[in-house]
Structure 1
Amino acid sequence: MSAGDLSGRRALVTGAASGIGRACAVRLVEEGAAVVAVDQDADGLAELAKTVDVEQSVVDLSQLNDVDRLDLAVDIVVNNAGLQHVAPIQEFPPDRFSYILRVMLEAPFRIVRGALGHMYAGGWGRVVNISSVHGMVASPYKAAYVAAKHGLEGLSKVIALEGADHGVTSNCVNPAYVRTPLVENQIASQAKAHGITEDEVIERIMLERAALKRLIEPDEVASFVAYLCSDAASSITGSSMRMDGGWTAH
């Protein structure tokens, strides 16, 4: 899938220093867009900038006042930044719960809120929210992540309804486990906790509910994001696009 020519478009991608965000930033640059790469990892952004020409913006998305200071004169927003914390609800630190919701739900709201004026004025815009299979189903011990992703799903649909008359689409992409640093860290910790190999964690725990027994690659998600930014996808809005390897087909 190709987004065609996005030259003349300006895109903002959060969590762009690694994983899905990095792949999206690279792909959108390849499609001709000018990309603002946002992350708190300054070194990771510098490494990205050695690969493709991006505008680097070092921001901690949990600091909402800093989010409000972003340059949001953009045509495309890819809300991707995220993190995980695994614990039973009664042991889940309330501060960590709040932190995750700030990064994964409040920051996307503020970014889109700030960007819509530019999109509406130009009569064109694309909001792509990197959700998760956990935006559609739940797993135990991931209260904050699941809550944030479910909230992002609802926010995305409201953006779609409000933006429809202004040429703005809004969609979620819902992958299962993607081969990213976030997931690789979970693999290592799960292997240690269960006393099994990392390959066994992938097969027996992460991919147990999926029909396709492999991790998704970041470039696959980036290709889907690029398609949703294209004119060919102009009628797709308010949707949740599953890339879950058949996880939710049961």
Structure 2
Amino acid sequence: MADPATVEFGADDVLVLEDDRFGPESVCLVTGAASGIGRATAAAMATNGLTVVGTDVDGDGLASMKALVEDEMDAPGEVVTVEADLTDDDEMRALVEEAATHGDVRYLANIAGMQHISPLEEFPMDVYDTMHEVMVRAPFLLSKLVMPHVRETDDGVGAIGNMCSIHGHVATQDKAAYITSKFALRGLTKSIAAEGEGALRAFTVSTSYVSTPLVEGQIPDTAEERGISEEEVVEDVMLGGSRVKDMMRPIQVANLFAFGFSKHGQHLDGADMTWDGGHLGTYE
């Protein structure tokens, strides 16, 4: 498998959509924007002409993302970076307030995530708590903070997209905290849709394995836990159930967020965009 750090993309890889709200006056807030799917989503939304506020704890990664979007991709949208800790409520409030100074906050992409491989009986609770804060509590609070801004726009139209996973639909071993968080995220998404009155929508994106640093990092741990080689982890554990035998690229996932946020996703509300290469829908 290619090193995710070298799997880059350009403007030609981005799904560009015609939408009157996709302009510099509209702000899209993206978490986890320093790497992987968050980095790609920030780039995709900026390429669609929006003002993007990207956040992460990794300041160097954010700077790299901004340079990619502005210098290499020459995206028409502005990129603003805000280093913030998603486990700190005050920093999240300040993040949303900062985003609101750059235009109408219409879109929120909750993408930041983390993983830990361990059997449930041995799972460290401090790690569980951090994963819950980053992948459930932070999206909950950020949604709570962003929703009033969407409602205050001239037409009240906007959307919150949450990065889920096939692990928000089915479970596998040694990932109990991650799976618990992703199932919870689907519940949050449906709750936002129930209260959004159709104009303020919410959706999840569920993919199988994507070539990101998060996925790359769990391969050695999975191999150790299961007593198999790293090659077997990729071929049998990660891609074994999929009909498509290639991992998705981050920019392909980012394009799903762009579509979901656009007017073309008008009837995508409370639902999930399952893009898994046939993993969930087929079996041998």
**Which residue, out of 166, 173, 188, partners 2:205?**
173
**How far did residue 192 of structure 1 move?**
5.6
Amino acid at match of 1:242: T
Q: Distance in 2 between matches of 1:51 and 1:86?
A: 32
**Which residue, out of 132, 152, 159, partners 1:126?**
159
**Which residue, out of 13, 24, 34, partners 2:30?**
13
The yes-or-no answer on 1:141 pairing with 2:174 is yes
Task: State whether residues 3 and 229 of structure 1, in contact with CA within 8 Å, keep that contact through their aligned partners in structure 2.
Answer: no
Q: Distance in 2 between matches of 1:109 and 1:34?
A: 22
Shifted more, 21-30 versus 232-241: the winner is 232-241
The equivalent of 1:186 in structure 2 is 218
Q: Distance in 1 between matches of 2:208 and 2:34?
A: 20
In the alignment, structure 2 segments of 5+ residues that lack a partner are: 1-14, 70-77
SS at match of 2:196: helix
- CA displacement 1:79-137 (0-9 Å, x = unmatched): 00000011111111111111100000000011010011110122111111011111111
The yes-or-no answer on 1:113 pairing with 2:144 is yes
SS at match of 1:69: helix
Superposition map of 1:47-196 within 5 A: 47-52=64-69, 53-72=78-97, 73=100, 74-122=105-153, 123-165=156-198, 167-191=199-223, 194-196=227-229
The equivalent of 1:39 in structure 2 is 56
**Which residue, out of 215, 232, 245, partners 1:213?**
245
Amino acid at match of 1:208: G
Q: Distance in 2 between matches of 1:75 and 1:54?
A: 15
**How far did residue 68 of structure 1 move?**
2.5
In the alignment, structure 1 segments of 5+ residues that lack a partner are: none
TM-score (norm 1): 0.94
Task: State whether residues 37 and 56 of structure 1, in contact with CA within 8 Å, keep that contact through their aligned partners in structure 2.
Answer: yes
Shifted more, 75-84 versus 115-124: the winner is 115-124
Q: Distance in 1 between matches of 2:205 and 2:121?
A: 30
Q: In structure 2, do the counterparts of structure 1 residues 43 and 184 end up closer, same or farther at CA, with 3 Å as the change threshold?
A: same
- CA displacement 1:176-218 (0-9 Å, x = unmatched): 100000001112443466352x443211111111111111110
Q: In structure 2, do the counterparts of structure 1 residues 87 and 190 end up closer, same or farther at CA, with 3 Å as the change threshold?
A: closer
The yes-or-no answer on 1:3 pairing with 2:3 is no
- CA displacement 1:33-63 (0-9 Å, x = unmatched): 0000000000000111112241111011122
Give the CA RMSD over aligned residues. Answer: 1.5
Q: Distance in 2 between matches of 1:144 and 1:62?
A: 16
The equivalent of 1:22 in structure 2 is 39
Q: In structure 2, do the counterparts of structure 1 residues 107 and 75 end up closer, same or farther at CA, with 3 Å as the change threshold?
A: same
SS at match of 1:81: coil
Amino acid at match of 2:96: D
The equivalent of 1:229 in structure 2 is 261
Give the total of aligned pairs. Answer: 248
**How far did residue 143 of structure 1 move?**
1.2
